[in-house]
Amino acid sequence: MPRNDGSGPMGGGPRTGWGRGSCGPGYAHGWFANGCCCTEEPSTEEKLEMLDEKEAMLKEHLTHIEKMRASLKAKK
The Cβ of residue 61 has, within 10 Å, a number of other Cβ atoms equal to 11
Q: What is the mean pLDDT of residues 6-17?
A: 66
Q: Per-residue pLDDT tens for 12-68?
A: 766 666 665 555 554 444 444 445 555 567 789 999 999 999 999 999 999 999 999
Task: Pick the more confident residue, 11 or 65.
Answer: 65
Amino acid 49: pLDDT: 93
DSSP run (H or E) holding 40 = none
Query: Which residue from 14, 7, 58 is spatially nearest to 34, judged by alpha carbons?
Result: 14
For the entire predicted model, the pTM comes to: 0.47
* DSSP conformation class of 2: G
Residue 8's Cβ-count burial label (10 Å; 0-12, 13-18, 19+) is buried
